[in-house]
Amino acid sequence: MSYFAERLKNLRLESGLSMQALADESKVCKSMICKIERNETQPTLDVAGKLAKALGKTLSEMLHASQMMQVVLLTRNEQAVWEDAKHIVRRNISPVFEGLKIEWLQVELPPKTVILKSLSCTTTGGEKYILVTKGSLQMTINQKVYQLNKGDSIYFDSNCPHEFYNPGKTGMEYYVVIKHS
């Protein structure tokens, strides 16, 4: 069983949630949750993020075991890597501590691929800092489009709708620091 599948099931049971209650809270269908928990399918990053949020965890906490040390060296081989069905690769380059409100990620976005976050404004709080290190990234934040090229950065309140899009013909890469409230 994958770490994510095991963690999802354990956290759901510890929280006293039925699959239907988790489905209602996360807006992920019950049958998908069942398939994930049985390790029959890997969720997309968006689905995994919705489930993590519904359980009060960060996606990093769901994908990688928490560290209990104050100094943590994560070699490249020790960093949790997740590739979803759209071939979006997410590498967690920060250590995962229970309750930590900061994540540092490297994301590789294939050509002509979209990541859509939040369909409506929320009040959960959060901030994102993005740095493009390869290619170009088109971001739509609150229906306004921003074009970022290699070396460009952007900061935004992540409570409202936002979209990441690689308009190029080759893969692109960006780093994101997520500060959860």
| Separation CA 41–CA 51 (nearest Å) | 14
Any bridge partners for residue 127, and if so which?
157, 179
Closest by alpha carbon to 84, among 156, 36, 127, 26? 36
pLDDT confidence of residue 100? 72
User: How far apart (Å, rounded) are the C-alpha atoms in residues 42 and 131?
Assistant: 27
Question: Where along the chain do its domains lie?
Answer: 3-63, 101-180
pTM: 0.66
CATH classification code of 101-180: 2.60.120.10
CA dist., res. 18 & res. 65, Å (int): 24
Domain 3-63 fold: 434 Repressor (Amino-terminal Domain) (1.10.260)
Q: How far is CA 131 from the centre of its chain?
A: 16
Domains 3-63 and 101-180 share a fold: no
> Tokens 């190029």 — which residue?
168
How confident is the prediction along the chain (181 residues), in pLDDT tens digits per residue?
Answer: 578 888 899 999 999 999 999 999 999 999 999 999 999 988 888 888 899 889 988 877 787 766 555 777 889 999 989 998 899 999 999 887 777 788 899 999 999 999 987 655 555 668 999 999 999 999 999 899 999 999 999 999 888 889 999 999 999 999 999 888 7
- The encoded tokens of residue 79 equal 């960093």
Query: What pLDDT sits at residue 63?
Result: 76
Do 104 and 139 touch, CB atoms closer than 8 A? no
Q: What pLDDT does residue 95 have?
A: 82
